[in-house]
Each structure stands twice: as C-alpha cells, then as structure tokens.
Copies of this chain bind each other. A is one copy, B any other.
Amino acid sequence: MTTPIEYAHANGATFRQQLHDLIRIPSVSTDSQYAGDVRRAADWLAAELKRIGMENVAVMPTAGHPVVYADWLHAGADKPTVLIYGHYDVQPADKVKDNWTSEPFEPIERDGFIYARGSSDDKGQAYIHVKAAEAYLKTEGKLPVNVKFILEGEEEIGSKNLQDFLKTYAAMLKADVAVISDTGMTSADQPEITRSLRGLTYMELNVTASSKDLHSGGYGGAIPNPALILAQMVAKLHNPDNSIAVPGFYDKVRPLTDADRSEIAKLALPDSEYLNITGAPGMWGEAAYTADERIVARPTLEINGLLSGWTGEGAKTVLPCKAMAKISCRLVADQEPVEIYELVKAYIAQIAPPNVHAELKLINAGDPASIDPTLPVMQAAVRAYERGWGKAPLYSRTGGSIPVVADFKRILNVNTVMLGFGLNTDGAHGPDEHYSIDMFHKGIDTAIYYLEEVAK
C-alpha cells in the first residue's frame, strides 16, 4: 500500500499546480475592492477540503471576511485533536508601483522558488497541511488524530473578527493543540521551532492645519505646515540612542536573561549578513542589543508609511493641509497592545503643537505570545522535524506577529505549535515574495510526520 509520504512525493508537481491556482486569486484583505477575491479564495479552499475528504466543510461568515472550517473526527476519543490554523488573505502587491520582477498574482517557478504574493505568507504554508491531510485520507482513508481546519481571511488586517469567532464557536473549535505554519527559518538546512512571537499595535497619525491645500508662496511661513510638523513629531518618537521616547513604553518589557541571549545567539546572523540580504548601507537600532535581539526580543516603533501634499513628478508649490504617518509597534512580553496605543496617543497629544490638529487612530492590535518547549506537543514537533529534515530543530523567536496564538491560549485555552516552513528571506509583505519549492515539499513531509508523532 502507498504510504502518505509516498503519495505526497508522487503528487508533488500536482500539489504545486493546485497551490498556483490558489495564489492566482488576489485575496488582498487590506483593500475593500478585492473583497470578492477574498471570498473566492475561501470558496476555493472549501471545495478543496471537501475534495480531499474532510467533513463538515463550511465557509462561515464573520462581520468581515469569512472563515473556512472543516474537520475529520474519527480517530477516536483517545487520540488528540489538532486545530490547524492558516490564513488565505494576503498583503497588497502592485507590479509597477512596488517594482516586482513578475506579476505578483501570476505565480512563476524560477530557480527553485515560486514567485508570487502569498506563496510563502501564508497560502503556501497553510496549504502544506491540506496536502498532509490529503496524503493520509487518500492512502490510509483516515487521519492518525482528529483534525480541525480553521482558515481565516483577515490575518493581514489584524484578524479583526477572529476573537468573536473563537468565542462564538469555542465548543466546535475545542482542541488539544493548535498548529500554525506562518513563520520563517534563518536557513533552509536548519529547522527551527518558533517559541515566541511579538505583538503588534498598528496606528495612523493624521496632522491637519488649514481646511484645504494652500499656495506655499501666499501662506508659507505664517500658516502651519502639517508635513513639517508631522516630521517634527515623528522625530520625537525615538531618543538619540534609537530607543523609543514614549513615556512608559518599556515599563512592562521583560528584561532579557543570559539564557535568552544565548538561545537567540544560536540562530543569529552577523550584521554583515543583514547588510548583504537587505542592501542597506548600515545597521540601525538600540546599541545595547544585537540585531537579532532587537528583531525578536525587543519592542520597536516603525514608520510604515508617510503621505502629504504633492508626491508626483516635478514641482507643486503647495502648502499641504494634512499629513499622515502609519506607525506600528512590535511588542514583547508582557506589553499589552491597546495599552501601548494609549501611551503613544498620550505622548502624541503631549508633543503636538497647538497650531495643528493631531489624531492617532488604532488600526489593529495583537498580543505577543510564547510557548514552553518542554510540552509534549512541542516534543512531537521536534521529532517531526528530525524525520522531515534529518536534523534536530533549534528553538527560535520571531520578530513578526501572529496575534491568534495569544487568542487561542486566552479564548480556547490551547497551546500553539508553530511549524514554520518559510524562510526569513522569502520577502513576505514586500516585492518578489517567493517560496522555496524544496521547503514546500519538506514541509508536507514534516506535517505528515507531525500528525503521526502527536498521535503517540
């Protein structure tokens, strides 16, 4: 009889073509004009889960984009239930504006990688688990454990409606462990299991002065310039040592222990490698911490966007009436995202001069999260990686944010094992996002092994 692994290997090319079909649907959740495509991606996944033999498949409505649910619960009451989470929505991408080499929603396989928006984050990684389930169901006719899929369409906009969904369907979603593949490794040869994630507070700052744009010759020098004042306010968000100047920002940050620092150092890259990967002329950040410590274990405050006045070609001598900055903080334990928003808001109110209106809106918020590596569900993951990669995994921490991990713990009381099958260099959220074909196939093997190991 064909084993699940053999089935996965025999059908590798087909699996990739199916993934291409999913990627071609531009399910951009951050832009309302793509709402129909987001729905189309949900329907596509529901049909696929039904086809492979999952049961109770449903595209379940939320106040925003739907959640795709499916289960298979015939492994027996003595077997654990694994809740597999992924997201089918993606970040925006524009070939010309963002300077992609090929069309972001037309996947192309080039030099061992699939180039497309969502190839790694998270369609490619989420789909690995669909294919692992298919490999069991099409060969053995059953799964080694009970499995529930929950695939959401709002991860890139802060999983706004997922908490309500988890609360409403807590009984249906009851599980012994949650599994997420939405993280990256430093090196393709060295598997990693993520044991901590940063939280996120994403905000928008709007500074306005006059009721409409003015002629800079007629009013400049007398009427406040929101672009200038916004820049002056942004410049006050950090101290000269690049630490964050918002009062109280660091109050709840857990200091790094020597053990933390040595664990982080095992997977750390030298600055030269960061410069090589990014092309930046130099590093930036808090001098008292290494680059990896700053990325995975220290909070940050970044400017994600700026917009004001004339941004086209050439000159327009306008005195803008408004200026906007997108500002986000990555948070570490035990920072609370809404409290951070309140702190930043209070500081903005304090530094905003009285001759402008300054408003800070909260766009979304997610808690930081961590998991104990000694838990049996984590040890099962260690064994799965050893079998899938032929090498013991290291424990890593990621600078990114998956707020659902904290939500699973708080609402469903379930721990999450992060089986990351991406690479940190995949270019998630940026142009030319790509996913290693080799990682995709090794990921399916490892996901198959994980279901077997966690059943023990």
- Which residues of A line the B interface, CB within 8 A? 30-32, 91-92, 98-99, 156-158, 184, 198, 200, 202, 209-225, 227-228, 230-232, 234-238, 274, 278-286, 291-292, 294-295, 298, 300, 302-320, 323-326, 328, 330, 353-357, 363-364, 398-401, 424, 427-432
Contact = CB atoms under 8 A, between A and B. Distances in A.
A37 to B, nearest CB: 16
Given A279-B210, A282-B353, A326 B330 contact: no
Contacts of A234: 227-228, 231-232, 235
A213 B304 CA distance: 10
Contact of A398 (B213, B217, B317, B353): B217
Nearest to A354: B282
Given A228-B303, A235-B235, A284-B223, A278 B214 contact: yes
A418 to B, nearest CB: 14
Contacts of A295: 217-222
A328 B323 contact: no
Copies of this chain in its oligomeric complex: 2
Contacts of A230: 231, 306
Contact of A213 (B222, B316, B431): B431
25 contacts: A30-B315, A32-B313, A156-B315, A210-B278, A211-B279, A212-B431, A215-B430, A216-B330, A218-B295, A221-B286, A222-B284, A223-B274, A223-B284, A225-B303, A227-B304, A227-B305, A230-B231, A232-B234, A235-B235, A280-B355, A304-B317, A305-B320, A307-B308, A315-B363, A317-B328
Contacts of A328: 216, 315, 317
A316 B30 CA distance: 8
Given A218-B424, A227-B306, A306-B308, 18 more contacts: A30-B313, A30-B314, A92-B310, A157-B314, A202-B317, A209-B281, A210-B278, A216-B328, A220-B399, A221-B294, A222-B284, A223-B284, A231-B232, A231-B303, A231-B325, A305-B318, A314-B363, A315-B328
Contacts of A216: 300, 302, 304, 328, 330, 429
A429 B357 CA distance: 23
A412 B399 CA distance: 65
A293 to B, nearest CB: 9
B310 A304 contact: yes
Most buried by B among A225, A274, A303: A303
